[in-house]
Amino acid sequence: MLTIAPFEEQHAPAVREFNRRLQAGGAPADYVFSESPVPEWLPPGPGAPVYNRFYIALEDGIVRGAYAVKHQEFLLGGERREIAYYHHPLSEGVIDRKFAMVGVQMLIQAQRQHPLIYALGMDGTDQPLPRMLAALKWPSCAIPFFFKVNHPTSFLRNMRPLRASAARRALADAAAATGAGWAAFKGVQFLAGLPGAFQRAEAEEVAEFGEWADEIWRDCVPHFRILAVRDGCTLRTLFPAGNPNFIRLKVTARGRLLGWAALGDVRKQAHPQYGSLRVGTILDGLARPQDAAAVVSAAARVLEMRGVDVITSNQSHYAWRRALRRCGFLPGPSNFIFAASPELSRNMMPFDETILHSHWTRGDGDNLLQYVRPV
């Protein structure tokens, strides 16, 4: 009989053996679970505003699956309520069909313990987890993806989807060599950013998010239907001062505080999508809807000055989507999927409209983990 239990120190040898079986069975190299019950990313602790807990699926003392749950408060329907994030589920079913139902049992137990729960990211709707969520009637949607190319030549020579066939590689190489690609990207992005003017803002890189972040939080609360608590204490937990991999920005205009942004800057290595591109990412940010474009523009300038090849972001709120377009970003296909449990989705009706007025970003998923443990 399968039981779900919190991962404790006594289970560590069984988790190591679980990982060993997965790798021996041909699972992907990154298909391993933490062998410590204390999460490396967002460990629980006294007063922690956001934290992870690990759970394991046991059969006669043998680990057959594991998953993580991130706990965080959100504003939902005008009230502060905890909404859980279900992530990193691993099941022995990936190598042995005898355990095919382990993933379903883990998800059902997580949903039973945390009725208000969501999943985010998941690399597209064709992956096992989103397919399972769809079968269990979790409403879902893609959080739109936007990108801005700063170095078209590097982009054309590295972006894997553009080079998926010999014909595509030849076209991309020709566009890079002749300068046609540079002209095309710069022209399209210029035209995309023409409609409407917005206030120019200044971005100050800061070592940590101070008390001033609480002012932004209070100003923004009335403007979002669903919003993860992003006060100063939470931001200092998500983007800790001791981690140099995060770029933290305080954005102002003529001395007036507008918002903040958290950025990433990573050189990819043989990435399945980006090749060896240097990718800048607007991971998270917060501002009133009318100030979103100024914050996006300031954040993009910082990444451009750092020399990234391309800037990316995923944003759900209509004002942040519009802000990215006004700053010359182009829409692209998104594999960043949001799915809500039935109980959470009942609090989000009408679902599609609520998404447009809610703030879901990469900061609400597990994308931050790569900046804790760069890859």
**Range of weakest confidence among 55-64, 266-275, 341-350:** 266-275
pLDDT of 102 over the 50 cut: yes
The C-alpha atoms of residue 56 and residue 103 are separated, in whole angstroms, by 11
Distance CA 354, CA 357 (A): 5
374 has pLDDT over 60: no
Mean pLDDT score, 201-210: 98
**Angle at which helices 166-178 and 180-192 cross, to 10°:** 80
For domain 145-333, the question of CATH label 3.40.630.30 is answered with: yes
pLDDT tens digit sequence for 261-320: 999 999 998 899 999 999 999 999 999 999 999 999 999 999 999 999 999 999 999 999
Percent of the chain with pLDDT over 70: 96
What is the residue extent of each domain of the chain?
A: 2-114, 145-333
Quick one: pLDDT at residue 204?
98
145-333 has the same fold as 2-114: yes
State yes or no: pLDDT of 236 exceeds 60. Answer: yes
- The per-residue pLDDT for range 137-174, each reduced to its tens digit, is 999 999 999 999 999 999 999 999 988 888 888 887 77
Selecting from 3.60.90, 3.40.630, 1.10.1200, 1.10.760, what CATH number does the domain 2-114 have? 3.40.630
pLDDT (0 to 100) of residue 375:
40
Q: What is the pLDDT of residues 72-97, one digit of tens each?
A: 999 998 899 999 999 999 999 999 99
Average pLDDT, the chain: 94
Nearest to 296 by CA among 342, 269, 258: 258
Is the pLDDT score of 240 beyond 80? yes
Inform me whether the pLDDT recorded for 181 exceeds 70.
no
Of 211, 201, 264, the C-alpha closest to 234 is 211
Neighbours of 223 (CB within 10 A): 17
What is the arithmetic mean of pLDDT over 217-246?
Answer: 97
**pLDDT score at 269:** 87
Residue 194 in this model has a pLDDT that exceeds 70: no
Least confident segment among 93-107, 168-182, 360-374: 168-182
d(CA 83, CA 232): 19
pLDDT digits (tens, 9 = 90+) for 21-46: 999 999 999 999 999 999 999 999 99
